[in-house]
Chains A and B, each alone.
Chain A
Amino acid sequence: MNREPSITTDAELVPGTAAFWRDPEKRAIVFQVVALILVAFVSYYLYSNTQTNLERQSIATGFGFLDKEAGFEIGESVFAFSASDSYADALLVGALNTIKVSFIGIFFTVILGTVIGVSRLSSNWLVAKIAAGYIELMQNIPILLQLFFWYAIFYESFPSPREALNPLSGVFLCNRGLVFAVPEAHAAHAAMGWALVAALAISWGLHRWGKIRQARTGQIFPSILVAIGLTLTLPLVAWLLYGAPTGMDVPKLNGFNFKGGVTVSPEFSALLLGLVFYTAAFVAEIVRAGIQSVGRGQIEAAKAVGLNTSQVLHLVVLPQALRVIIPPLTSQLLNLIKNSSLAIAIGYSDFVAITNTTINQTGQAIEGVALIMLVYLFFSLSTSLFMNIYNKKMALVER
């Protein structure tokens, strides 16, 4: 006789046979409920303490203070700001200053980091050792100390405006910052801007067309050379069409300071130098690791099929190296943005510095700190979103 083995099915086991603390699913629910209650309780406790404290010290709550008059001046601002403007305007100035230093900082950091990372792998012993020494030195000194150092250099080692260093004609270095000549405002500049936009658009179109043609006929279109040519010539043509204005706004010594030209404040310069030099060391290590991750065989194979050096680099090495580089690079660039908050220590008016002033004036610490956190979370999330999109574009497309 063929007897079926008896199987205990789940249905027989489950209903009410085991105590609920032996059932992992029910236990999980209990754990989570307890955890949530705990969190809720702690939050409520802190909230009620805060409420009593605020009432006792008669501190206002809410974001009503944003519309009030700020009553303080800001050293540097992207748009015109005066003490009679509102706190909201002041905070906007701070946020824009943070964005300004972060953008410029990221731009130079990526360039310097790449140069040092490539130098680290140079066949020139001296270059490789200097790059390695730079990386070790910068990574192991706190960025705040570096900021103080650069700031002190500006304030102590550079002369007063009267005896300003003049390394190039029209460029002055003094303890009020870096002052340099800019072309005088002229209608030609707007036209040159538009010409640049047009050049970029045409280059992009040509690049697409070149790709399609290459797919069809195999002929390679030198889109990079053409793009460089276009971006240089079109603005030049616009400049010539407007009569080639050459007027320069040269800074002149006026009393104790310079008048005219563009001044980059010592605070901004010190912050930028500190951020760029510090973060570039980390970026260099990432770039080095990325390049080293591309196997030797890949490069040899590419050479074997007859690609030249630049083709090997941007058709074989870079696409693979970037895949390794981008995720850690993103986190380093985020670190740069977060570290720009150290501006407060050397008196650059970034978002944190202005929020701190606001907290000191209004006493509304909770709103202030919440604003700082929100703004930086927004910066962080939007940067990582952008880098994730880029990363997805670069990622290996698997069949």
Chain B
Amino acid sequence: MKKLPTQKREYLAPPITEVGFIGWLHSNLFNNWYNSLLTIIILLLFWQLVPPFFSWAFINSLWNSSAAECRDIDGACWSIIPRNVDFIFFGFFPEDQQWRPGLAMFLLLGMVFYSKDRNRWKKSLFVYWTINLVVMGTLMYGGVFGMPVVETAQWSGLPLTFMLALFGMVAAYPIGVLLALGRKSRMPAIKTLCVVYIEMIRGVPLISLLFMSSVMFPLFLPEGVTIDKVLRAQAAIILFTAAYIAEVVRGGLQAMPRGQFEAADSIGLNYSQTMRLIILPQALKIVIPPSVGILLSAFKDTSLVVIIALYDILKTTKVTLSNPQWTNYSTEAYLFLALFYFICCYSMSSYSRKLEKELHTGH
């Protein structure tokens, strides 16, 4: 019998172009001639653009100075933000009372972070939210505990933006669910009404509804009754969002297998029991991620109230910019706002993606 060689075989190390950092570069940036060309062009562009931007934004910039000092520099004048932060965030809310909206926003953020965990989605969460909203409303409106009353017309800036988006969503949800049920209904008259409403609202821009709220609603009301401008805009946003929620919920209803309806019928449940106990709990669970998407677009859309002269955070920024001292620093102000919106929206959209993954229990 022939003896097999026992000494260890020497393995060659893989070529340096295939592993480690160089291997990564080779397979991700320079794997063929046009990718190499693209990489080089992009790097050249970065080289051209990034250093000037960096020196504009960070090196030659001023962070907390007067407008006069800003005039002498080449860089960004970020001072516009800290010097006007009260007005940008809280607008016309009386200055000595601004701790109130500040505290309210803090409570809201706390509540949002608390609700992120799905283990806390119980009835108690609903109660907490109700209590929180009442407390926030009291803080904003005042009239008790020695806090002077602040009319809704003076609510502006960040609280207005959050309020329009949040209440727009909360109030629109039940309407949207009803509309979706109506659209799936077998009664022709009700189905037609719902379809016409949904399609009409989805066919027109939000701005036309906001115009309606600012110039047409007052004509609808009986003599002597007036509704505040903020509330009218809120109503328009609710009516608008409801139509989009209806379509999302309809998607959830359509995803329900027929067997669920038939099973509910066979154990003798009537329509409202079937919907309340069997269909909606499942359908609404499916549509949680797209609903967060609707909340996100409702949040972005609140910025449109600028056009009917409500003072949301975008409008307060614009008012700041109309101050002759700060007129020339709109790039800085808009970049700051863009960062604010981006942080809010990005966290919402990544949360929605996370939920989608977690709730996807099928195959």
Chain A residues whose CB sits within 8 angstroms of the CB of B335 once the complex forms = 149
CA distance A155 to B204 in the complex (A): 30
Distance to closest chain B CB from A40 (angstroms): 11
- Chain A 234-264: CB-based contact to B (< 8 A → 1; otherwise 0): 0000000000000000000000000000000
Whether A49 contacts B219 in the complex (CB less than 8 A), given A152-B331, A152-B334, A157-B331, comes out as: yes
B223 at the interface (CB under 8 A from A): yes
Query: Which residue in chain A gives the minimum CB-CB distance to B211?
Result: A369
A381 in contact with B303 (CB, 8 Å): no
Cβ of B84 < 8 Å from any Cβ of A? no
Question: Does the CB pair B303–A144 fall under 8 Å?
Answer: yes
CA distance A137 to B339 in the complex (A): 9
Q: Does A126 lie within 8 Å of B220, measured CB to CB?
A: no
Nearest Cβ in chain B — how far from A167, in angstroms? 15
CB-nearest residue of chain A to B328 = A156
Task: Give, as a whole number of angstroms, the nearest-CB distance from B297 to chain A.
Answer: 9
Q: Cβ of B200 and Cβ of A39 under 8 Å apart? A: no
B203 at the interface (CB under 8 A from A): yes
Chain A residue nearest to B34 (CB atoms) is A124
The distance in angstroms between the C-alpha atoms of A122 and B37, with both chains bound, is 14
- Cβ-based interface call for B338 (8 A): yes
Q: Is the CB of B205 within 8 A of A56?
A: no
CB pair B219–A35 under 8 Å, yes or no, is no
- B172 → chain A closest CB, angstroms: 18
CB-based nearest B residue for A356: B211
* CB of A187, distance to nearest CB on chain B (Å): 43
Instruction: Specify which of B188, B189, B306 lies most central, judged by the most chain A CB atoms within 10 Å of its CB.
Output: B189
Report the Cα distance A125→B219, complex, angstroms.
58
- Chain B residues near A366 (CB-CB < 8 A): 216, 219
The chain B residue sitting closest to A29, CB to CB, is B187
Residues of chain A contacted by B42 (CB below 8 angstroms): 126-127, 130
* Residue in contact with A377 in the complex, picked from B38, B189, B203, CB distance below 8 Å: B203
Complex contact A36–B189 (CB within 8 A):
yes
Q: Is A145 touching B205 in the complex (CB atoms < 8 A)?
A: no
Q: In angstroms, how far is the closest chain B Cβ from the Cβ of A333? A: 13
Docked CA distance A50–B35 (Å): 65
Interface membership of chain B positions 312-342, coded 1 if the CB is closer than 8 angstroms to chain A and 0 otherwise: 0010001000000000101100110110011
Minimal beta-carbon separation of A102 from chain B (angstroms): 12
A35→B338 CA distance, assembly (Å):
45
Given contacts A152-B330, A365-B215, contact A377 B303 (CB under 8 A): no
Instruction: Kindly identify which residue among A28, A50, A372 contacts B220, using a CB–CB cutoff of 8 Å.
Output: A50
A310 at the B interface (CB under 8 A): no
- A99 CB, min distance to chain B CBs, angstroms: 15
Whether B215 contacts A369 by the Cβ 8 Å rule is yes
Contact of A32 among B29, B31, B188, B318 (CB under 8 A): B188
Stretch at the interface among A200-208, A223-231, A339-347: A339-347
Assess whether B278 is interfacial by the CB under 8 Å rule. Answer: no
CB distance from B310 to the nearest CB of A (A): 13
Chain A residues whose CB sits within 8 angstroms of the CB of B221 once the complex forms: 49, 53
A83 at the interface (CB under 8 A from B): no
Q: Does B356 contact A (CB under 8 A)?
A: no
Give the chain A neighbours of B307 by CB distance below 8 A.
Answer: 342, 344-345
Which residues of A lie under 8 Å from residue B337 when comparing CB positions? 145
Closest to B305 in A: A144
Is B66 an interface position by the 8 A CB rule? Answer: no
A17: Cβ under 8 A from any B Cβ: no
Contact (Cβ within 8 A) B331 A149: yes
Interface of A (DSSP majority class): helix
Q: Are B219 and A145 in contact (CB under 8 A)?
A: no
Tell me whether B212 and A369 are in contact (CB under 8 A): yes
How long is the Cα–Cα vector from A376 to B349 in the complex, in angstroms? 29
B342–A141 touching, CB < 8 Å: yes
Residues 203-227 of chain B, each 1 if its beta carbon lies under 8 Å from chain A, else 0: 1111110011001101111110000
Residues in A neighbouring B306, C-beta threshold 8 A: 144, 345
Distance A366 CA – B188 CA, assembled complex (angstroms): 29
Q: Does A211 contact B (CB under 8 A)?
A: no
Q: Is the CB of A35 within 8 A of B189?
A: yes
A376–B211 Cα distance when bound, in Å, is: 14
Known A125-B29, A144-B304: A137·B342 in contact at CB below 8 Å: yes
Contact A373 B338, beta carbon cutoff 8 Å: no
Residues of B within 8 A of A156 (CB): 328, 330-331
Instruction: Flag if B345 contacts A140 (CB, 8 Å).
Output: yes
Residues of A within 8 A of B153 (CB): none
A136 to B347, CA, bound (A): 11
Contact check, B189 vs A32: say whether CB atoms are below 8 A apart. Answer: yes
Q: How far is the CA of A133 from the CA of B55 in the complex (A)?
A: 22
Which residues 116-136 of A have a CB within 8 angstroms of B? 122-127, 130, 136
- With A and B bound together, what is the CA distance between A145 and B334 in angstroms? 7
A-facing mask of B179-207, CB < 8 A → 1, else 0? 00000001111100100000010111111
Contact check: which of A126, A140, A372 meets B342 at CB < 8 Å? A140
Known: A342-B205, A377-B204. 7 other contacts (CB 8 A): A28-B187, A31-B187, A136-B346, A145-B334, A359-B215, A369-B208, A372-B211
Q: What are 25 pairs between A and B in contact, CB < 8 Å?
A: A28-B187, A32-B187, A32-B189, A35-B193, A36-B189, A50-B219, A53-B218, A126-B29, A139-B349, A143-B300, A148-B314, A148-B318, A148-B330, A148-B334, A338-B204, A344-B307, A345-B307, A352-B208, A359-B211, A366-B216, A368-B215, A369-B208, A376-B205, A377-B204, A381-B203
- B residues contacting A by CB (< 8 A) are 28-29, 31, 35, 38-39, 42-43, 186-190, 193, 200, 202-208, 211-212, 215-216, 218-223, 296, 300-301, 303-304, 306-307, 314, 318, 328, 330-331, 334-335, 337-338, 341-342, 345-346, 349
Q: List 3 tightest A-B contacts by C-beta distance, closest first.
A: A140-B345, A125-B28, A365-B215
